[in-house]
Amino acid sequence: MELESDQTLNLPYYEDLEKIFNFMKTQNSVELLFKFPYSLCDHTSRLVSEISGLDVLTGTYQRSKNEPILAHTLNYDKKRNLYIDLTRGQFGFKFDKIFIEPVIDSNFTPYSQVTSKYKIDETTKMIKPKLDELINAYKTLI
């Protein structure tokens, strides 16, 4: 169950989420290799974390019991126990939407928690240069 729109507007970071969501839709897909939201959950979640301070969670998402389990990254508001997902559209949901839902109602299962000071591993070594460019590009617009 998602939050109603009047509830989401009361979140202190919601305006930032809208700005980031709209920014990501304008990014050059050649530089990022993919078109938002497809396969950009890691970049998007880390940008959200950098701007809003929300935690980054990695895990799996399963749209329904009959569908495959897929790797996914999203943001977590631990104060309100909410998942914030700007890239859920890649799983066939309405594209032009920010998903905010209580943890208890979600089909997302976290397997690790990473804060904005994420660990450097082989994956982040590969994505970090593009992520830094993305963060800098966003910051120059705001």
Task: Quote the pLDDT of residue 14.
Answer: 94
Number of domains in the chain: 1
Q: What HEC string does the chain produce? A: CCCCHHHHCCCCCHHHHHHHHHHHHCCCHHHHCCCCCCCCHHHHHHHHHHHHCCEEEEEEECCCCCCCCEEEEEEEECCCCEEEECCHHHHCCCCCCCEEEEHHHCCEEEEEEECCCCCCCHHHHHHHHHHHHHHHHHHHHC
Task: Quote the pLDDT of residue 52.
Answer: 93
pLDDT per 10-residue tile (average), the chain, 142 residues: 59 94 78 76 91 92 86 93 92 78 89 48 50 81 72
Residue 85's domain comprises 5-141
Task: Quote the pLDDT of residue 21.
Answer: 92
